[in-house]
Every structure is written in C-alpha cells, then in structure tokens.
Amino acid sequence: MVIFNFSINLVVRNVKLSQEVVGTRASFSVVCGTNKYFTEISQSETVLNETNVYFRHVCQVPYRFDRSNSVLIKIYAVRADGLFAGEIGRCSFDLASLMMNKCRLNFPQNGIDAEVNLLDVDKYSNGIQLQFHGEHIHSPNSLPLASYYYLVLHFPSRDVLLYKSEIIKLEKDPKWKAFVVPSHLMEVFPTATLRVYCYNYNINSEDSIIGMFETTVSRLLQGIGPINTYMLINTSGERIDEKTCFQLSLFNLRKLPSFFDAVNQGMHVPITLGVDMTASNGNPNNTDSLHYIHPHTSHYPTPYEMALNYVVPSVTKHQANRNIGVVGFGAYIPPNHSFSQCFNLSGNSATANVDGLQGVLEAYSQARLVVQPFAPTEYADVIYHVAKFAKAESKRRLGLYFVLVVFTNGGITNSRRTIDAIVDSAPHPMSIVFVTLGKEHFPEIEKLESASLKHSDGRLLCRSIVSVVPASDLQNNDGLALIPLHVGSYFAGGL
C-alpha cells in the first residue's frame, strides 16, 4: 500500500479564558480507508492559561494520491477539572489543499484564529546519487555488444521504472552515468525491492537480457565496497559466470525535487479522462453492455459510471479549477457521422472541458445516446491529445503535470501505435492510468506497464508513466497512488 506520512501541528490564537475555562485541547481525526467517516487518531496536550496556544503535539497523518486525505481538528475549551467545557472551533480540510497553500491554512472563527501547519514535506526530497560500472559484460548472442541497464522498484504486481541508463557500445567494462533516486523508497514501499536488469540493445529486434541482480535502498546506503558488488544472474537465478558483475562506484546524498515540493511551490495536476466508446463494450441497448442505457439510469449506473464516480473526486484535488477534460474514442460521431479515435465527449467542438464530476457524468450519458460504437480499440490518439499539452509544458515551465485516466474494457487492437505514443510521451510531464472494466482479461494492456517498452524507431522508454488498474480493485490497487512517484521521476530526469 503506497502511503506517505506527514506531520501537522496546530496554533490557536485569541482564546478567551475565564474562571471556568482555563485551558485548550485539540482532537485530530482523519477519514480512514474508503469510508466517509472521521476517526479520531490523536489528541493534543492541554495547554493551560494561554490565550495564544502553541501545541507541542504533532499529529502523524497519512496521504495517498487517490484518497480524500480529509482531516478534521476540533478545538475544545477545558475546565479546571480537566473536562471539556465545549467546542470552540474546528478546522476541516484535506492535505492537498494544505500543500497547495504553502503548507499553512488559517481558520478564523468565533473570535479565535486557528493555524494548521504541514511540517515535514522536505523529508521526501532526500535522494541518493549512484553510479554503477560493469565488469566483463558480454553479449548473450552473436550481436555486437551495446549494453544498458534499468533500475526498477519491484512489486508483486508490477515494476516501476526508476532509471534507465545510456547505451554504451563495444565496452566490456562500461561505466555508466550517475543518477539520483529517492532515499525514502523503502519507507513508502516497505514490501518492494530494487532490481537492476542489464540488456544488450538490438536496433532491429527485441533487446536481449544479459543478466540482473536485486538489492535494497538500505544496502545501497552502505556505500561503495564489497557489500555493493553484485554478480549478474540469468532469468533462472543462476550466475552467468564468476566475473560478470556490477559495482557501485559513486555514492552521494543529494536533494531531489519531489511531487510534494512541486505542489507546495504551486504545481497543478490537470486531469483528462478518456472513455472507451468502442463496440467491444457491447450494444448499449443490451443489458450485458458495459454502456447499457437503462430506463432508470440514475438508479442503475453502468460500470463506467461507477468507475468515474470513484476515480474523479480522488484525482482532481490538485487541479487549479473544476475543469476536467473528457474525450471519447472508437465511435462514429455527429454531426457528419465521421469515425474518430479522439473526440470531445460532451459534443462541444470548442473544448473538451466540462465542469466537475457532474459535467463528466452528463457528457458520458449524452454521448451514449448520440455516438455509434465501432472499432478498433486504439489509445494512441487520446495519448497524443494530452501529450501535446505536456510537451508544451516541457518548454514553458508553468508548473503543470498532466494525468490521463483511460477507462476501457482493455481489448487493445494496435499495441504498436500505443507503445510508440507512450515512449514519445515519457520525457514530458504526464502520466497515464488505464482503468479496465468488464470481466475479460486482456494481457496486452498490462504489457503497457513494462519498463522495457521500445519505440518502433528503436528509442527506449525513459521513465515509467503508465499504470493499469482493474476497476474491480480500485480500493486496493496502487496504480493511481503511484502518480507522486511518476512526478518525482520526471524531475529527477533533469538532474
């Protein structure tokens, strides 16, 4: 479970004391999991005889990108006997709004002024600079040696690419460039390990694996030496030979821009939704269709509507406004009955934007009635639609990071074009999340998460930007929660 932990404290000014009221105390509550109810997690100490109260208590609160992260602080007047005299104020907010307001929020009410501070954002800005060199690296086949490696954060369900090296040709003892990774990885991802895969680059065919090894952040933190010399093993877990190895040759502590630094400095995360309107979802007039138009629609939402209702509120917290881009793909559309792989779902030719979740649901409901589902299922055009904004942001640096969430039944037709679109988009500030619906299993879409994606022109994927999440597992799957890691890898690429 991808959870970041932060500390908040509270200052209360202009508290009115009396013979009956002699102190102040605060209660801290959060929304746990996916329920909508607050649960108290801590209370402050009681501060006596102070009108300006600086609580020493620091409350630890969890953060996930795909959760509400709501916090409720209740402030109580305390009597001389230690009992509460009553509530004198409260602060209700989510951590995203606290981050976006320079880590400080003020709540003037009932004559008092409450101030909430987020204390330790910078702890996620610590990184380690690493450099590896290889010894006795050789091609696993008759092709010329052109070695590179990539480092992934390995989960049971997926690998997340942290770094990919340059290619070094015809060098048996290559020394690749240094790079930086976050040092907090094992705190946030305690069940994950680090894996390094070394490959031989083949321009006209699939790259060949030379070998791999596994390590941890805690081991790397021990620095240069025998502890960080790794013999390469093959896919069966056997050593390649007694000489082929990787050695850590540089280790430094570095500062690394994080997602939370960027949000604190004003970064916004515009969201675009892509909705699969292809015929593979079934005829909307049939009850087994994922887009079934029920006579009592409000009481019987489609699987797409249920997924939209769950995802949209959780991923739009870091936007500057309520505008959400919504596009459809894979259908004939009015007014000319032309086929499109990327069209504004609302039918408004001027803009893809709609107003909040309600606008999303209205655009989807209207589109089901007027478009004609067709084929094939193709994601490239929708990806390039968002990538053009991300590419512009790479040049303008306005403080934007784009997230495309594609809702689909997963039956991809042309994975080659989609892979090319993903590799083309990876250098720019954007992420892609595929939310898959329906009961069928489509392994082709899961392959889009692979760290070894390769463009048809031979270019390699430079960083992970894709997560695949089954709609049936939205509550437990970490795909959406990995967005902060994607953002961090984008900033690390500029170091």
Q: Name the E strands within 225-364.
A: 229-231, 245-255, 271-276, 323-329, 331-333, 338-340, 343-344, 353-355
Q: Which of 147, 154, 226, 148 is nearest to 194 (CA)?
A: 154
- Specify which residues 133 forms β-bridges with: 175, 247
User: Under a CB-based contact definition with an 8 Å cutoff, are residues 120 and 6 in contact?
Assistant: yes
Handedness of CA 410, 412, 417, 420 (dihedral sign): positive
What is the pLDDT at residue 48?
97
CATH topology agreement for domains 4-119 and 259-492: no
Architecture of domain 125-255 in this structure: Sandwich (2.60)
**Domain residues of the chain, as ranges?**
4-119, 125-255, 259-492
Q: How far is it, in rounded angstroms, from Cα 99 to Cα 264?
A: 5
Cα–Cα dist 349/339, whole Å: 15
- State whether CATH 1.10.357.10 applies to domain 259-492: no
Domain 4-119, classified CATH 3.40.50.2300, yes or no: no
Q: Are strands 430-436 and 466-470 parallel, antiparallel or unpaired?
A: parallel
- Per-residue pLDDT at 394: 94
pLDDT for residue 299: 66
pTM score: 0.93
Q: What is the pLDDT of residue 192?
A: 81
Position 185 scores a pLDDT of 80
User: How far is it, in rounded angstroms, from Cα 142 to Cα 205?
Assistant: 13
Q: Which of 258, 271, 242 is nearest to 188 (CA)?
A: 258
For the chain of 495 residues, list the mean pLDDT of each consecutive stretch of 10.
91 95 97 81 97 98 92 97 95 95 94 95 92 97 95 87 96 97 82 93 92 94 95 93 96 92 94 97 92 77 95 92 96 95 95 96 95 94 98 95 96 90 98 94 90 95 95 91 93 73
What is the structure's pLDDT at 120?
Answer: 87
CA 453, 187, 406, 384 dihedral sign is negative
Give the pLDDT score at 188: 83
Are 112 and 13 in contact by the 8 Å Cβ rule? The answer is yes
Region for residue 258 given its phi and psi (left: phi exceeds 0; alpha: psi -120 to 50; beta: otherwise): beta
